[in-house]
Structure 1
């Protein structure tokens, strides 16, 4: 048998090479001359994540705070409207007080160096309101002071004062001060000048009557600064100057 001979194709080394096509990455283009033009990559859009339902705990807290604030605002508005209506309807005014006279029944230094004092004070209370009455309740106090030392104290009477009423009050005050030798000396030296400063303090619990409605208790705090000419006993003291200020204590 004759041997079969296989024939393999011969590669022509002198043949021109096939042109190679450059790979163009996505997002770029080529120019007419074949050069590659780079385009900037497109920015990626981020899609915000939206919670369709907020957390229940936070939502409940916000609702509770909003309801509380709204309720407080409504209450304040109602209170303001009520106060405004009462003010326009009754036109409230503070009562006025004046010290008419002061008499010293007793003022002496005892052997145990205690100072005993007894004063009698006449006061005028004026209620200028047309539609408001004043109940002076039990527990009102009136006291007389010299600088920081209380000389005597007494109780204010309990009574009702009607509309536009003027009431005269007689109040008896007594007191005893311990270790008062220095105080008595200061009073005697001050009496030489003929101008002795005294301070009368008032603390009176009252109840206001608006029409037929009796309101809750409030307090009237007052202070009258007096200048008297003498501290001699059993004589009517001349009041040279008087300055009184009063305010409500809620």
Structure 2
């Protein structure tokens, strides 16, 4: 038997042929359109491999507070707490002790000497009756040394003195007789002004000033020393040593100084 003839399938001549070589050779260059330009041998190089670099987002840096800012914050907080504590303490003390300002008045004025000298100076000596009232129920007042009382006319000092040291208890009224003395140089013009004002108005205005250091006693607690001042405006009918002196008007103002 004759061998059967083997039949091999023939390829389709119209099917596209697979390239046998790369389209772009390795040494090809790119054209203006972005595609690789073909070389003379028709080889196109493959596109380059692009590596993706991961983006790392960095954390924003923390703002560090400066030492000055921290110091300012601590100082402000401490002062705020201190003010609040003082306000609370003052409120409690006010509710417990009910403090009231003392009252003062000038009740009488006696002139023991008011005479000019041959050299034109003026010697004056007064006795002033001052009434001090403490209206507080639970607060006492210690009058310390170092006080000063002055009597002035038109800004010119006539005489001065001091209050005695004493303790004024609760709801106490104390009458003090304070001697004052002084000497004014070149008082010829001052005496002429006093006589002219007395003849024109019938009275002479005087200013009495008191500066007194005191210590306040709250219950059994004796506080630190403070100073107060009293200013009184007086009007007297005359300043003659041989006649009776009458106070026609008197008003005093109290002021506390820490």
Q: What is the TM-score of this pair, normalised by structure 2?
A: 0.75
- The yes-or-no answer on 1:130 pairing with 2:137 is yes
Match of 2:150 in 1: 143
> In structure 2, the residue corresponding to 1:237 is in which secondary structure?
coil
2-structure distance, mates of 1:141, 1:106: 20
Alignment of 1:2-81 (within 5 A): 23=33, 50-55=59-64, 58-81=65-88
Secondary structure of the 2:71 match is helix
1:163 Cα deviation from its structure 2 partner: 0.2
Change (3 A) 1:234 1:137: farther
Gaps of 5+ in 2: 1-31, 36-55
Q: For each residue in 1:72-129, what CA deviation from the matched residue of structure 2 results, as whole angstroms up to 9, or x when unmatched?
A: 1111111111111111111111100111101111111101111100111111100000
- Say whether 1:110 aligns with 2:125: no
Preserved CA contact (<8 Å) 1:126 1:166: yes
Shift of 1:23: 4.8
Mapping of residues 101-250 of structure 1, within 5 Å: 101-192=108-199, 193-250=201-258
Deviation at 1:175?
Answer: 0.4
What SS class does the counterpart of residue 86 from structure 1 fall into? Answer: helix
Q: Deviations over 1:32-53 (max 9, x none)?
A: xxxxxxxxxxxxxxx9964343
| Alpha-carbon shift at residue 24 of structure 1 (Å) | 8.7
Q: TM-score w.r.t. structure 1 length?
A: 0.77
Change (3 A) 1:50 1:185: farther
**1:35 — aligned with what?**
none
Against the structure 1 CA distance between its residues 143 and 84, is the aligned structure 2 distance closer, same or farther, given a 3 Å change threshold? same
What residue number does 2:105 align with? 98
CA contact (8 A) 1:102 1:236 kept: no
User: Hey, what's the Cα distance between the residues in 1 that align with 2:71 and 2:60?
Assistant: 22
What is the rounded CA distance, in whole Å, between the counterparts of 2:66 and 2:202 in structure 1?
76
C-alpha RMSD of the superposition: 2.2
Are the equivalent residues in 2 in contact too, given 1:103–1:235 (CA < 8 A)? no
Q: CA deviation at 1:67?
A: 1.8
Report the Cα distance in structure 1 between the residues aligned to 2:238 and 2:256, rounded to whole angstroms: 32
